[in-house]
Amino acid sequence: MDIRDLDRRVLAEMDKIVSGLTDLGLRTPCAGWTLGDDPYRAYAKSVDAFLAASADDTVLDREVTVREFGTFPAPVALTMHLVDSVAHGWDLARTLDAPYEPDPEAVHVALRFAERMRTRPRPDDDVFAPAVAIAPDAGELDRFPALTGRDPAWR
């Protein structure tokens, strides 16, 4: 499966949530992420830019610079975007108490990538908050946010 297709599926699910956003004063489970003055417009602009930048198949053969993180092979950078999409979609759904049903394959890929990030040689350079302990038999849609430092029980 093309990582871009998985991300598009998550973005389509996220669009349903963001398009209904009316209360801009709500806090999210991600301490460093706020909703801004016009969240749907900012979201749509960001999605359009991402889709345009990743549309050409030759992107998969390039190096991509991800602000604040460095330069990576495009498949890695695209997977990083998928991780952000799944995580922030979850954040918004929790903030708005909205249903969130991202593509299970996308959640699986995001979870596996987050697991690899947690076990890399430089854990002091972690991009996630400390992991939240959850039941070992929790589903992937609970394990993923817990691994990225979000409490699956957050309301």
Distance between CA atoms of residues 78 and 76, nearest Å: 5
Q: Is 90 exceeded by the pLDDT of residue 4? A: yes
Is residue 155 a part of any domain in this protein? no
- The predicted pLDDT at position 18 comes to 87
Is residue 29 a part of any domain in this protein? yes
Q: 114-153: per-residue pLDDT in tens?
A: 999 888 765 556 678 889 999 999 999 999 999 999 999 8
Is residue 153 a part of any domain in this protein? no
Is residue 27 a part of any domain in this protein? yes
The parent domain of residue 128 ranges over 3-147
For residue 37, give the H/E element and its range: none
Name 64's bridge partners.
Answer: 72
The vertex-69 CA angle with 16 and 24, nearest 5°, equals 35
Distance between CA atoms of residues 138 and 152, nearest Å: 10
Token pair 């330069």 is found at 71
Number of domains in the chain: 1
- The predicted pLDDT at position 67 comes to 83
Q: 26-36: per-residue pLDDT in tens?
A: 777 876 666 76
What are the counts of helices (DSSP H) followed by strands (DSSP E) for the chain?
Answer: 5, 2
Alpha helical stretches, state H, 55-139: 74-96, 104-118
Q: 41-93: per-residue pLDDT in tens?
A: 888 898 999 999 999 999 999 999 988 888 999 999 999 999 999 999 999 89
pTM (predicted TM-score): 0.89
- The predicted pLDDT at position 32 comes to 66
